[in-house]
Amino acid sequence: MRVLVTGGAGFIGSSLVHALIAGGNAVAVIDDLSTGSVADLHPAASFRSLDVLDPTLAQVMADFAPEAVVHLAAQTDVQRSIADPGRDRAVNVDGTVAVARVAAAAGARVMLSASSAVYGDPETLPIAETAPKRPINPYGASKLAAESALAQALAGTGVDFACMRLANVYGPRQDWRGEGGVVAILGAKFAAGKRPAIFGDGTQTRDFIYVGDVVAFILSALDAETPLASGSPDGPAYNVSTGTATSVEQVAGYLCALSDVLVGIDHEPARQGDIRHSVLDPAKAAAALDWRAAQPIESGLAITWRWLSTTLR
């Protein structure tokens, strides 16, 4: 299969590209390297340093002629979305429309990286795809708008698509600098022998899913013989999650034990736009694609810690 991956030099994208190439697929990567790394690019993938809003995107897509497009390029920082909602929407919504239009011209199936943030603070847990969507920050709102924009851009084209509502993804290659994922940030502090800080009291929960399980979902969806966008609750939306809640405090405890670093944990005030509890129901993905997250949190964190400690020491 010929697969084009936007954001393919990033955390999830580079992991996916390595798996796709290992499976014998031809892969092209588009990434503006604003958060991705050249070091994580697979040498067998063709690469263009390009913003998805660049008008030359159409020619790049036409030259490669993909059969599928996995759209992972995005603005993913909640706090940055609050500070600059216009840029957040431009990248996440306008960028998705641009990718959808050129993918439709190629007749390529589209997989959009959506987010659990579309649900906001849920009424009940775990959250099914049909639950109310009430995002509480600009990031969640832009991701929900991106789903609608994708559906509108592909309406009447016959192009199949899916919106992957990702839980909190962690694993090797995740950036610990700036506003990286909480697992990477906490792990990096322990690796440096420093006291990490948790925003809030640490009892807030998330559905932490290992990056390899996300990659496995994408591979299953790309190989699906039946349409992904219809015939199931909430159409093209799929929760990509474990269905298990883990507190940030628990994650810090696991990493502390793995690091064998005897330092305390500081607490800072909870941040605006942060969701208190979030755990997604992955039953739809299991029924439609026979996919289930396979990596327990303890072993996933152990793998991540080995990568972090090797990278930072």
Gyration radius of the chain over CA positions? 19
Give the closest residue to 69 by CA, choosing from 33, 98, 38.
98
Active site residue 210: no
Question: With contact defined as beta carbons under 8 Å apart, do 76 and 209 qualify?
Answer: no
Length of the chain: 313
Report the DSSP beta bridge partners of residue 210: 170
Q: Which DSSP letter does residue 280 get?
A: B
Report the DSSP beta bridge partners of residue 49: 31
Q: CB count, 10 Å around CB of 216?
A: 20
Per-residue HEC secondary structure of 87-140 comes to: HHHHHHHHHHHHHHHHHHHHCCEEEEEEEHHHHECCCCCCECCCCCCECCCHHH
Give the pairing of strands 266-268 and 208-210.
unpaired
Catalytic residue, from 119, 139, 210, 254: name it: 139
* Active-site residue list: 139
